C-alpha cells in the first residue's frame, strides 16, 4: 500500500469499516511510515475539533473559522494527493 492509497482509505479505517484484509495491509503500511501515522493523527484531531464544534464534515465552514486555516487545510489535502 502506498501513502496515496492509505489516504484514500483513511475514513473507512478511522470509522472502523475497512475490511479486515485491507485493514491489515493498512496497518502494515502504518508500521513503516511515520508520515502516514502523523497524517492519521491530524485527521483524528480535525474530526475531534469538528465534533466539539457540533459540525458535520459536509457542513459549510462557520464564518468564524480563519481563512488562513481553511487555506492551510486545502493545501495539505492537495499535497497528500
Helical spans, DSSP H, in the chain = 3-15, 20-32, 34-53, 67-79
Domain ranges of the chain: 3-79
Q: Is the pLDDT of residue 24 over 90?
A: yes
Q: What percent of the chain has pLDDT over 90?
A: 16
CATH 1.10.3470 fits 3-79, yes or no: no
pTM (two decimals): 0.58
Task: Write down the mean pLDDT value for the chain.
Answer: 80
Residues 14, 47 contacting (CB under 8 angstroms): yes
17: buried, middle or exposed (CB in 10 Å: 19+, 13-18, 0-12)?
A: exposed
Amino acid at each position: 500500500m502506498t501513502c496515496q492509497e492509505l489516504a484514500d482509505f483513511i475514513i473507512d479505517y478511522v470509522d472502523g469499516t475497512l475490511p479486515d484484509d485491507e485493514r491489515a495491509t493498512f496497518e502494515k503500511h502504518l508500521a513503516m511510515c511515520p508520515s502516514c501515522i502523523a497524517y492519521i493523527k491530524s485527521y483524528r484531531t480535525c474530526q475531534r475539533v469538528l465534533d466539539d464544534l457540533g459540525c458535520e464534515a459536509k457542513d459549510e465552514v462557520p464564518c468564524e473559522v480563519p481563512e488562513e486555516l481553511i487555506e492551510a487545510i486545502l493545501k495539505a489535502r492537495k499535497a497528500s494527493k
